[in-house]
Amino acid sequence: MMFEDLHENNRLQLAIGLLIGLCFGGFLYIGGVTEYNVILGQLLLTDFTVIKVMLVAVVVGMIGVYAMKSRGMVELHPKPGSIGSTVIGGIIFGMGFAVLGYCPGTVAGAVGHGALDALFGGVTGILVGSGLFAAAYPTLDEKVLSKGVFKSMTIPDALKINPWYVVIPFCILIAAVLAGLEYFGL
Amino acid sequence: MDWTPYIAGAGIGILSWIAFLLSNKPLGCSTAYTRTSGMIERVFRGKKTEEKPYYQKFAPVVDWEWMLVAGVFIGAFITSVAVGGFSFEWVPTLFGDAFGYDTGLRLAVAFAGGILMGLGSRWAGGCTSGHGISGALQLAISSWIAVIVFFLSGIVSAFIIYGVLW
C-alpha cells in the first residue's frame, strides 16, 4: 500500500478529510442531489438524477480503485453484512429516505445551500436516530444484526474469480443503463 | 442532455480514488452522526457514554469522516453562493405543493424521517455514500444488497406518501 506514513498522520488526515469533503459537497450540489425535490423525484421515478450521479461515481470509482488495487497501491474495505443488518436496516433507511428526502451526506449539503428543514428537522432527527441505535445496539446485535451473515465480502470473492471479470461486465451494464435512461429522455 | 449529473458523478468517483490512496478510507457519512450523537450525550451523561458498546466501536471524537461531512456542508455552501443558488428555504416546493407550506408540518415530518434515517443507516452499517457509492464500487455484497433495498423501500414509501397509486 502507498502513503502508509501519511495514513498514520492523524492531524493531516483530518485536513485531507475536510478537503475531500469540500469537493464532495461541491459535486453533490452541482449534481443537484442536495435538493429534496430531486431526491423525492428519484423515489417517485420522475427524475433520474440521483441514480445517474451514483452510477457514474460507481463506474469511475470502481475502475480507478481496482486498477490501484491490482498494483498493490490501495487496500479494499468492504463491509460485512447480514439479512438482519443489511436488509432490515435498509428497509428502515428507505423509509427515512422518502420521509426526510435527504440522506446523511446530502442533508449536510442541503444545509449548506440554506435548506432549513434539512438542518432543524433532518440533522436533529438523524442525531436522535443514531443515538437510539447506539442505545439499542447491544440487544439488536445479539438478536437481529447477527442473523443470516453473508458468507463472502465481495462479489469476486464469492465467485472466486479475478475481480476484472466482474468489474468489466458491471461497467458495461451500468453504461447500458445510463444510455437507456438518456435514450428514453429520463 | 444535461451533463451535470455525469460531471458530479465522475468527480465523486475520482474523490473516492483520492480517499483510498491518501487516507486508506472509503467515502462515507453516517458514522459522523453517531460520533456527534455520542459527543452530545457525553455532555449530559459524562464518561458513562463512552462505555456504551457502540461508542466503543465509534468513539465520540472528531475523525476523518466527521471532517468529511463538515466539508460537505462547507463545500455545498461555497458552491451554492458562488453560482448564486444559495437561499433559505423551510419547505421544499414538491412537499409544499402536495401538503401545504406549513413549516411546522415539514419540520415534524423531516424530524421523523431523520430518526428513521439515523436508525436505518447505522442498522444497515452505511448510507447512500458508504454503501451506495463506496461499497458498490468495491463490489461488496452487503453494499449492493443495501443500496437495492434502500431504493426499493424508498420508492414504495415515496409512492405511499405522495399517494401515487390511488
| Contact across the interface for A125 and B17, Cβ inside 8 Å | no
Contacts of A77 in chain B (CB under 8 A): 24-26, 138
Mutate to test the interface with A, among B51, B119, B147 (most CBs of A within 10 A): B119
pLDDT of residue B165: 76
| Contact across the interface for A113 and B85, Cβ inside 8 Å | yes
pLDDT of residue B164: 84
Strand partners, B140: A154
Shortest Cα distance from B61 to chain A (angstroms)?
A: 12
**Which of A31, A68, A117 is opposite residue B106, by nearest beta carbon?**
A117
CA separation for the pair A106, A102 (Å, rounded): 6
The parts of chain A modelled with pLDDT lower than 50 are none
Contacts of A118 in chain B (CB under 8 A): 110
Q: Percent of chain A, pLDDT > 70?
A: 100
Give the chain A residue nearest B159 (alpha carbons): A44
| Contact across the interface for B153 and A22, Cβ inside 8 Å | no
CA separation for the pair B29, B67 (Å, rounded): 10
Cell of A76: 479494499
Chain mean pLDDT for chain B: 97
Q: Are B75 and A26 in contact (CB under 8 A)?
A: yes
B19 has pLDDT over 70: yes
Shortest Cα distance from B109 to chain A (angstroms)?
A: 7
Give the chain A residue nearest B68 (alpha carbons): A21
Query: Which pLDDT tens digit goes with each residue over A165-179?
Result: 999 999 999 999 999
Average pLDDT rounded to a whole number, residues B63-73: 98
B24-63 residues touching A, CB cutoff 8 A: 24-27, 29-30, 32-34, 36-38, 40-41, 52-55, 62-63
| Contact across the interface for B134 and A61, Cβ inside 8 Å | yes
pTM of the model: 0.97
B166 has pLDDT over 80: no
Residue A99: strand, helix, or coil: helix
ipTM, two decimals: 0.97
| Contact across the interface for A44 and B159, Cβ inside 8 Å | yes
B4 has pLDDT over 70: yes
**Which of A74, A93, A132 is opposite residue B150, by nearest beta carbon?**
A93
Average pLDDT rounded to a whole number, residues B42-46: 94
CA separation for the pair B102, A80 (Å, rounded): 42
Shortest Cα distance from B19 to chain A (angstroms)?
A: 7
Strand partners, B89: A115
Would you give the DSSP letter of residue A143? I
Average pLDDT rounded to a whole number, residues B133-158: 98
E-strand ranges in chain A read none
Would you give the DSSP letter of residue A149? B
Burial state string for B126-150 with b = 16 or more CB within 10 A and e = fewer than 16: bbbbbbbbbbbbbbbbbbbbbbbbb
